[in-house]
């Protein structure tokens, strides 16, 4: 109290010192935050953090470890378990407790081939890898089946986009030229006319069977991708979105991405401090709900991007007060979510890493970019950058912001 009284007297006696005093306090807070891996790009953000009442966070890599491992596949009507973790390529596939010999299930080989073809990551001989963790997990699962990138020649690529939710490549491999596609199962399946049978040949497709399997994987907190392909003639050299038709569905791969232990603690700390944690992810609703439960985020209801797009602004304002998980969202949905919370009087922190996340980061009261996985555009649009891409770092920064506030 004596200190506060002295400061009050100084400010009263010399009012022009107030801006310098406030700047000094915020600068000290920003320095402390930087030591805890939260880099403040705009000084007033240090104060705004202290007033944060809602944190809207991505799931993968922020709330979770972002260390993917394929643990189950669904191919030719069978669910197979995959052993091994991390970058260990010595695991195997098994069904009904019986280990499958390499090459004993041709449909599995084709599924793994598509995962390798539709992939920009690279495994190293030392046991690590370079690239997206999801794609690294697909390379590891393929290696367990004896399949590598050797002999693969790529011609064209349609990169993954959060709005289309798929990636496609035109490749030539072992004398075959084909289009390989990976993405959200519910997006790919409508484009498929057939699916692989156990012998690896196209046959009748049961879309509901694959969708049911995807939901089972999702309820186990597995991130699930679908894989499809179409054979083309040797003269085919272009790849357009219109080419992704009459596909053959090869199967599903489900991978685990465990929650960060520090994120579980941070979510509990937020709850105790009166701050809501909201998960905003592009993953399947069941996956998001399962991971939210592990993190301690109440998720009785999940709103999807399609449902959100159908809501008007008033409906969304009412929904955000009771919903803590948004799944299958596009970047433009994140901006609307932030605006809805702000319209309800909340101070919103929003995370993002992609180029398309920039509008949402600008919309939020505190835009938070990923320092490791984030793009330069996202970092430029943000008020704060996480040096370790960890949700717990956001909570630490809010703690320091409250001290400055």
Please tell me what DSSP assigns to residue 268.
H
pLDDT-wise least confident of 6-20, 26-40, 57-71: 6-20
Structure confidence at residue 101 as a pLDDT band (50, 70, 90): confident
The confidence band for 60, taking pLDDT boundaries of 50, 70 and 90, is: confident
Task: Answer for the pair 187, 166: CB distance below 8 angstroms, yes or no.
Answer: yes
Please tell me whether residue 270 adopts helix, strand or coil conformation.
helix
pLDDT at residue 256, as a whole number:
92
Please report the pLDDT score of residue 401 as a whole number. Answer: 75
Q: Is the pTM of this model over 0.75?
A: yes
What is the helix (H) or strand (E) element at residue 104, kind and residue range?
none
**Per-residue pLDDT for 404 more than 80?**
no
The three-state secondary structure class of 33 is helix
Choosing from 58, 243, 357, 383, which is the catalytic residue? 58
**Tokens 């009087």, located at residue:** 345
Grade residue 268 by pLDDT with cuts at 50, 70 and 90: very high
pLDDT of residue 21: 52
Least trusted range by pLDDT, from 96-100, 111-115, 383-387: 96-100
Question: Residue 296, by phi and psi: left (phi above 0), alpha (psi -120 to 50) or beta?
Answer: left
Q: Which residues of 144-167 are buried (b: 16+ CB within 10 A; e: fewer)?
A: bbebebeebebeeebebebebbbb
Mean pLDDT score across all residues of the chain: 90
**Residue 71: its pLDDT value, please?**
95
Least confident of 121-125, 230-234, 390-394: 121-125
Using CA atoms, how far apart are residues 188 and 181, in angstroms rounded to an integer? 8
Range list of β-strands (E), 140-275: 153-158, 166-173, 176-183, 192-196, 202-203, 222-231, 247-256
- Reading phi first (left if > 0) and then psi (alpha if -120 to 50, else beta), residue 279 is in beta
At 399 the pLDDT is: 84
Read off the pLDDT of each residue in 319-344 and give the average, rounded to a whole number: 95
Q: How many residues does the chain have?
A: 405
Angle, helices 207-219 vs 285-295, to 10°: value is: 10
Active site residue 58: yes
pLDDT score of 38 more than 90: no
* pLDDT above 60 for 47: yes
pLDDT: which is higher, 18 or 147: 147
Across residues 186-213, what is the average pLDDT? 95
Q: How confident is the model at residue 43 (pLDDT cuts 50, 70, 90)?
A: confident
Residue 17: per-residue pLDDT: 55
Evaluate if residue 29 carries a pLDDT over 90: no
Which of 111, 113, 90, 93 shows the shortest CA–CA distance to 102? Answer: 93
Task: Tell which wins on pLDDT, 126 or 196.
Answer: 196
Q: Is the pLDDT score of 26 beyond 80? A: no
Q: Is the pLDDT of residue 254 over 80?
A: yes
């Amino acid at each position: 109290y004596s200190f506060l009284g002295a400061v009050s007297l100084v400010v009263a006696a010399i009012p022009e010192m107030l801006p310098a005093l406030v700047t000094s306090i915020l600068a000290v807070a920003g320095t402390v935050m930087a030591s805890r891996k939260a880099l403040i790009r705009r000084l007033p953000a240090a104060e705004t953090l202290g007033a944060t009442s809602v944190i809207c966070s991505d799931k993968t890599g922020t709330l979770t470890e972002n260390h993917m491992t394929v643990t189950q596949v669904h191919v030719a009507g069978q669910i197979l378990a995959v052993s091994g973790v991390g970058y260990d390529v010595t695991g195997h596939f098994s069904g009904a407790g019986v280990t499958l010999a390499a090459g004993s299930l041709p449909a599995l080989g084709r599924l793994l081939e598509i995962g390798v073809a539709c992939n920009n990551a690279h495994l190293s001989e030392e046991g690590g890898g370079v690239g997206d963790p999801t794609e690294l997990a697909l390379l590891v699962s393929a290696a367990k089946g004896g399949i590598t990138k050797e002999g693969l020649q790529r011609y064209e690529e349609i990169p993954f986009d959060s709005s289309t939710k798929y990636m496609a490549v035109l490749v030539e491999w072992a004398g075959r030229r084909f289009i390989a596609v990976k993405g959200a199962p519910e997006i790919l399946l409508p484009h498929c006319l057939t699916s692989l049978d156990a012998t690896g040949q196209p046959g009748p497709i049961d879309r509901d069977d694959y969708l049911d399997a995807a939901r089972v994987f999702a309820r186990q907190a597995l991130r699930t991708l679908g894989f499809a392909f179409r054979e083309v003639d040797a003269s085919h050299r272009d790849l357009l979105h219109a080419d992704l038709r009459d596909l053959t569905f090869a199967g599903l791969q489900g991978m685990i991405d465990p929650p960060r232990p520090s994120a579980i603690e941070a979510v509990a700390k937020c709850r105790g401090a009166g701050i809501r944690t909201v998960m905003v992810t592009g993953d399947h609703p069941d996956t998001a709900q399962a991971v939210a439960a592990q993190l301690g985020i109440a998720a009785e209801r999940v709103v999807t991007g399609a449902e959100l797009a159908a809501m008007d602004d008033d409906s969304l304002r009412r929904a955000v007060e009771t919903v803590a998980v948004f799944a299958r969202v596009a970047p433009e949905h994140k901006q609307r979510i932030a605006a809805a919370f702000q319209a309800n009087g909340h101070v919103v922190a929003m995370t993002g890493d992609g180029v398309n996340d920039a509008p949402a980061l600008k919309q939020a009261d505190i835009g938070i970019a990923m320092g490791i996985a984030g793009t330069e555009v996202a970092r430029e649009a943000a008020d704060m950058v996480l040096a370790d891409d960890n949700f717990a770092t956001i909570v630490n920064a809010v703690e320091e912001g409250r001290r400055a506030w």
